[in-house]
Chain A
Amino acid sequence: MSKVRVLVGTRKGAFVITSDGTRRDWSVSGPHFGGWEVYHLKGSPADPDRLYASQSSSWFGQVVQRSDDGGETWQPVGNEFAYSGVPGTHQWYDGTPHPWEFARVWHLEPSLDDPDTAYAGVEDAALFRTTDAGRSWQELAGLRTQCSGHSWQPGAGGMCLHTILLDPGGKGRMYAAISAAGAFRSDDGGESWRPINRGLRSPQLPDEDAEVGHCVHRIAGHPGRPELLFMQKHWDVMRSDDGGESWREVSGDLPSDFGFPIEVHAHEPETVYVVPIKSDSEHYPPEGRLRVYRSRTGGGEWEPLAEGLPQQNCYVNVLRDAMAVDALESCGVYFGTTGGQVYASSDAGDTWSAIVRDLPAVLSLEVQTLR
């Protein structure tokens, strides 16, 4: 029988939550790495028992952990992220040049076909790759050097590379997104890069159509339609039908088009999920009602999904990497909140229930469907 494994990163450790394919009864394991911030953990599509986790703290810096048994046991692997060559500077908040300084790993993206290869998106924004199961990490520096990295400036959340999307087509296409810099694409496995921000408009910039500088919050796609992408920007929900060459807004009738996560149904490439947040300073749901919004038309028309979610006095946030889907026949949708709840729907979002409450604030959530 199928199983589902939910990997949850929180402010104070990681949790591994499992169920059989019925998704009725859940077992919680953790905290792993208790007391440390776990920005992200994710499993290899090529070997689901191979997991990578990003563990960090203000005291002791960055640690990367690897599990070879589905999260039962872990071992620390390489944690040295040295920028390539002479890294130079980017812009600081006051516009002065600031040296690139590694702070932490925000996102880990294992290769689609090799469990020993994984990508790491880090702050200050850069992309690293391991090909030896995490023992060493090398920067793919073209992203910084070919995409105006010297002009990037951190946003309020820091200058982080938070999204890595691997195209399953096998031709080396991949996407990355950086807060307050924008979206970028490589067509050669990460060696060379270019900005893909045409169609994004950000009134917060002096040139609202600038080539770089947009605050992209997350990008999601569907492996069956690799040219189709969806983006939650700082404000605006966007769609691209040409692999990011151009974007158009599909916020439509959302109550707010500010938010962080965006996710696509496992079997329906035009079914998209977002969690509207009131504003860029009021990081909680409009009207204190936690609602996921679903579009079955690839954006534009959205329906609220609220059954089983708190509909009064709810002021949590859902962070950019804290939503995911499973691949069971009836697609499951999952998200974690800054209030420590993990909600799950086994009917594509129609109804929800909390599979665990009162965890530390959830930073990230990934789902593995185990056959």
Chain B
Amino acid sequence: MIRVVLPPHLRVLARTEREIELELPVEATQRAVIDALEERFPSLRGTIRDPATMRRRPFVRFFGCGEDLSHDDPDDPLPPAIIEGREPYLVVGAMAGG
């Protein structure tokens, strides 16, 4: 079970709580988490990844276990603490602007 924390704007859009629990049918990678998130909340499609390129939007970041996972390969396994549900996987709206 993966615990996913969404930023406020996406919580409103998905009409859900701050933290979501996802069961993944496949290996726990970042791509699998976002795929499962979009499957459960179709209104989030296109908001985290560009639907044309499937790349992370520039001002969206992925954090976990105190690390920035945004630049990791989306098909790499997630850290064990996230896979085991001890740490959440954070989707964050990046600091931007002045």
Complex Cα spacing A82 to B52, Å: 7
Q: Which residues of chain B come closer than 8 Å to A79, judged between CB atoms?
A: 45-47, 51
Contact (Cβ within 8 A) A57 B9 = yes
- Shortest CB-to-CB span from A52 to chain B, Å, is 15
Does A169 belong to the interface (CB within 8 Å)?
Answer: no
Complex Cα spacing A61 to B48, Å: 8
- Which of A35, A59, A61 has the largest number of chain B CB atoms within 10 A? A59
Complex Cα spacing A101 to B57, Å: 13
Contact (Cβ within 8 A) A80 B9 = no
Q: Which residues of chain B come closer than 8 Å to A36, judged between CB atoms?
A: 9
Q: Which residues of chain B come closer than 8 Å to A62, judged between CB atoms?
A: 46
Chain A residues numbered 41-71 whose CB sits less than 8 Å from any CB in chain B: 57-63
Does A76 belong to the interface (CB within 8 Å)?
Answer: yes
Does A102 belong to the interface (CB within 8 Å)?
Answer: yes
Contact (Cβ within 8 A) A63 B43 = yes
- Shortest CB-to-CB span from A81 to chain B, Å, is 8
Interface bits B25-67 vs A (CB < 8 Å: 1, else 0): 0000000000000000011011110111000010110000000
Contact (Cβ within 8 A) A60 B93 = yes
Chain A interface extent, by class = 10 to 19
Using known A-B contacts A79-B45, A82-B52, determine if residue A59 contacts B13 with beta carbons closer than 8 Å: no
Q: Which residues of chain A come closer than 8 Å to B46, judged between CB atoms?
A: 61-63, 79-80
Complex Cα spacing A279 to B13, Å: 39
Which residue in chain A gives the minimum CB-CB distance to B49? A61
Contact (Cβ within 8 A) B59 A59 = yes
Q: Which label, helix, strand, loop or mixed, suits the secondary structure of the A interface? A: loop
Does B94 belong to the interface (CB within 8 Å)?
Answer: yes
Does B90 belong to the interface (CB within 8 Å)?
Answer: no
Contact (Cβ within 8 A) B9 A102 = no
Contact (Cβ within 8 A) B9 A61 = no
Using known A-B contacts A35-B9, A60-B60, A63-B13, determine if residue A80 contacts B51 with beta carbons closer than 8 Å: yes
Chain B residues numbered 49-94 whose CB sits less than 8 Å from any CB in chain A: 50-52, 57, 59-60, 93-94
Contact (Cβ within 8 A) B10 A60 = yes
Which residue in chain A gives the minimum CB-CB distance to B47? A60
Which residue in chain B gives the minimum CB-CB distance to A57? B9
- Shortest CB-to-CB span from B93 to chain A, Å, is 5
Q: Which residues of chain B come closer than 8 Å to A61, judged between CB atoms?
A: 46-47, 50, 57
Chain A residues numbered 322-342 whose CB sits less than 8 Å from any CB in chain B: none
- Shortest CB-to-CB span from A314 to chain B, Å, is 26
Using known A-B contacts A80-B46, A102-B52, determine if residue A58 contacts B96 with beta carbons closer than 8 Å: yes
Q: Which residues of chain A come closer than 8 Å to B96, judged between CB atoms?
A: 58-59
Chain A residues numbered 102-140 whose CB sits less than 8 Å from any CB in chain B: 102
Contact (Cβ within 8 A) A60 B48 = yes
Contact (Cβ within 8 A) B57 A80 = no
Using known A-B contacts A35-B9, A102-B52, determine if residue A60 contacts B45 with beta carbons closer than 8 Å: no
- Shortest CB-to-CB span from B63 to chain A, Å, is 15
Which residue in chain A gives the minimum CB-CB distance to B8? A35
Q: Which residues of chain B come closer than 8 Å to A102, judged between CB atoms?
A: 52
Using known A-B contacts A35-B9, A59-B94, determine if residue A76 contacts B43 with beta carbons closer than 8 Å: yes
Q: Nearest 3 CB-CB pairs, A to B?
A: A76-B43, A60-B47, A59-B59
Q: List 10 A-B contacts (CB under 8 A).
A: A58-B59, A59-B93, A59-B94, A59-B96, A60-B13, A60-B60, A61-B47, A63-B13, A63-B43, A80-B46
Give the interface of B toward A (CB within 8 A).
Answer: 7, 9-10, 13, 42-43, 45-48, 50-52, 57, 59-60, 93-94, 96
Give the interface of A toward B (CB within 8 A).
Answer: 35-36, 57-63, 76, 79-80, 82, 101-102
Q: Can you add 8 more A-B contacts, CB < 8 Å, to A60-B9, A82-B52?
A: A36-B9, A59-B9, A59-B60, A60-B57, A60-B60, A63-B13, A79-B45, A102-B52
